[in-house]
Amino acid sequence: MLEFDQVSKSYPGGFVALDRVSFKLEKGEMAFLTGHSGAGKSTLLKLISLIERPSVGRVLINEVDLSRIRRPHIPYVRRDIGIIFQNHRLLMNHTVFDNVALPLVIEGFSGKDMVKRVHAALDKVGLLDKVRCLPQTLSGGEQQRVGIARAVVNKPPLLLADEPTGNLDPDLSKDIMRVFEAFNQVGVSVLVATHDLGLVARMKYRTLTLKQGKMINDGLLQYQEDPL
């Protein structure tokens, strides 16, 4: 469903963040994306969510080359992709409810239907009691979870997460991974970028490893023999 075909990305100034990366993610598949800081994980996710465009190569979703998506259509593509951002990116002066409801409001939902969905999403990340809070009054981990609720609230078929467990303790990290697993089990394709190699190894999912922009591993990661 998601396919990278010899994709390279160099940023203005000539820095090569991704170097001829190719891989495929099937519908309903869950995979991890690991690598050192600066390896290009976020860059790879940005190419999928059309925040950046590849310098060379093609990114395809369901056989549609993303380079064919013109600017006015980008919002509609993003509605199909749930994105969890490395730095949460919440609206700080709006309540948790408003933050989570945003993707629904954009799509024209309102009333009871919207409330029901928002509550369901917050329930999944265990934040139902914080509906009326402002993000500032939440801990880093709670803010992260609000971001997750927002990403899944409109049930996107593809879920991208960038360091979703960066601020969470091991127990909570595991819970969040369970949430992703649960989504995966209902057919959502999930791609999670993370540093947390221990967690990755324990979860036994396909793992893509980047090193200085190159894909150096694609498959199960053995924690003991660290490839990095």
Partner 1 sequence: MSILFSGRASSGASAHKISLGRRFVMFWVNHVRQALFSLGELWRTPSASILTIGVLGVSLTLPATLHLLVKNVQQVSDSFTQAAEISLFIKDGTDDRQINSLLKILQADNDIARVTHISKQQALDEFADVSGFGSALTYLTDNPLPDVLLVLPKNTSAGSARQLLERLSKERIVEFGKLDIDWLTRLDAIVSLLRQAVLVIAVLLLGAVLLIIGNTIRLSIMSKKDEIEVMKLVGATDAFIQRPFLYSGVWFGVFGGLLAFLIVEAMLWWLQGAIGSVTSLYDSEFRLMAFSVTEFFSLMLLAVLLGLTGSYLSVRRHISAIEPTGP
Ligand X SMILES: Nc1ncnc2c1ncn2[C@@H]1O[C@H](COP(=O)(O)OP(=O)(O)OP(=O)(O)O)[C@@H](O)[C@H]1O
The reply on whether position 103 binds partner 1 by CB under 8 A is yes
Tell me whether residue 42 or residue 143 sits nearer to ligand X (CB atom): 42
Using the rule CB under 8 A, give the single segment among 43-51, 119-127, 137-145, 206-214 that binds partner 1. Answer: 43-51
By CB under 8 A, the residues from 60 to 79 that bind partner 1 are 61-62, 64, 69, 72-73, 75-79
- Give the H/E segment covering residue 17: strand 16-25
Distance in angstroms (rounded) separating the CA atoms of residues 228 and 89: 30
Which three-class secondary structure state does DSSP give residue 227?
coil
Q: 57 CB contacts (<8 Å, ≥6 apart)?
A: 4, 5, 6, 7, 8, 20, 21, 22
- Give the H/E segment covering residue 84: strand 81-84
The reply on whether position 40 binds ligand X by CB under 6 A is yes
Q: Which residues bind ligand X (CB under 6 A)?
A: 11, 15, 17, 35, 37-43, 86
Q: Which residues bind partner 1 (CB under 8 A)?
A: 42, 45-46, 49, 51-52, 61-62, 64, 69, 72-73, 75-80, 83-86, 89-92, 102-103, 106-110, 113, 150, 154-155, 157, 160, 162
